[in-house]
Amino acid sequence: MCNLKRQLLAGPYLLWMAGFILLPVIMIFYYAFTTTSGHFTLLNISSIFASIHLKSLLLSLKLALICTGVCLLLSYPLAMILNGMKEKSQGFIVFIFILPMWMNFMLRILAWKLLLSNNGVINTLLEALGLPGLDILNTPSAVVFCMVYDFLPFMILPIYNAMSRIEDDILEAARDLGAGTVTIFFKIIVPLTMPGVVSGITMVFVPALTSFAISDLLGGGKVLLIGNVIEQAFMQEYNWNLGSGLSLVLMVFVIASMALMSAKGEEGGAGVW
């Protein structure tokens, strides 16, 4: 009886999952493997090898990798600095990092579009200082920049979390045993924060790979990511079959990267280093 009650508690979520996750995925599978007239086909899947689709997929992978790399490079030292501060100020800084997330992310992208435009605030300021203008709007650089801006908190928070859990005793013990700062960093801090790094990478890489809104708004229609190709197939070309086929391929990449990362995460947790 008690068991049944517990299962009932999961009811709302099951309903949610069935309707908004399972059903859409089944529909995508159906569309991906059929033609517009409903016959079985593999063409929608294999069309990823068409040169433009392949190109946009590679561009998406490239930008997502760069974005993840930059986020990691920025976040790791930051998390270390943060961790070294007094507890009170730590809470405040974390609060500042989360603050932008109170505003809708589309609005923030639109704000960047205005800031970066030819006559925008940034260029006007640079000009006033006699510096050369920043000409990155409508290029992949602007897209990566905004991805980093948007996804940075997802990298900082898990790393900071992992770092703040390292007991001072462990570091002290290491120092007692004669380990220098460098040794402590590579032998203790890095391995112990690995799970945080891994979850940060997943949380940045996956949305960066699949994003289309940022490239749409800051790419000026010139940066065609795989997400944009899929969006166009659905919205402009009324070709849901192609859109679904490409979505499935993208899903494979997402799942593969998550599997890779979770395997790494377990290794890290077991303390192989």
Partner 1 sequence: MKLKKIMLCLLAGLFLSVPFAGCGSKSSENTLTVLDYGKYLDPEAIEMFEEETGITVDYEEYITPENMYTKYRAGAIDYDLICTSDYMIEKLIQEEEVLELDYGNIPLSENIDPVYFDFSKSFDPENKYTIPYFFGTVGILYNKDMVDESKVDSWKILWDEDYSGQIIMADSVRDSFMVALKILGYSLNTTDEAELKEAQDLLLKQKPLVYSYLVDEAQDEMISENAAMAVVYSGEAGYALEFNDKLAFSVPEEGSNMWIDSWFIPKSAKHKENAEKFLDFLCREDISMMNFDYVYYATPNKKTKASLDLELQENSTIFPPAEILNNCEVLKPLDDEVTMKINLLWKEVKAAD
**What secondary structure letter does DSSP report for 34?**
B
* Of residues 213, 223, 39, 239, the one with CA closest to residue 141: 223
* Of residues 171, 150, 161, the one with CA closest to residue 79: 161
Of 186 and 238, nearer to partner 1 (C-beta) is: 238
Size of the site for partner 1 (CB under 8 A): 28
Shortest approach of partner 1 to residue 152 CB, angstroms?
26
Shortest approach of partner 1 to residue 3 CB, angstroms?
9
Segments in 85-189 forming alpha helices (H)? 87-98, 105-116, 121-128, 140-164, 168-176, 181-184
Among 182, 235, 270, 272, binds partner 1 (CB under 8 A): 235
Site for partner 1 in 112-151 (CB under 8 A): 117-120, 135, 137-138
Binding segment (CB under 8 A) for partner 1, from list 9-17, 98-106, 184-192, 257-265: 9-17
Binding of partner 1 by 26 (CB under 8 A):
no
Binding segment (CB under 8 A) for partner 1, from list 80-88, 167-175, 183-191, 233-241: 233-241
Among 14, 25, 121, 263, binds partner 1 (CB under 8 A): 14
Contact 66, 225 (CB under 8 A): no
One-character DSSP codes across 169-219: HHHHHHHHTT--HHHHIIIIIHHHHHHHHHHHHHHHHHHHHH--HHHHHHS
Which spans of this chain sit near partner 1 (rule: CB under 8 A)? Answer: 4, 7, 11, 14-15, 18-19, 52, 55-56, 117-120, 135, 137-138, 220-222, 224, 229, 232, 234-238
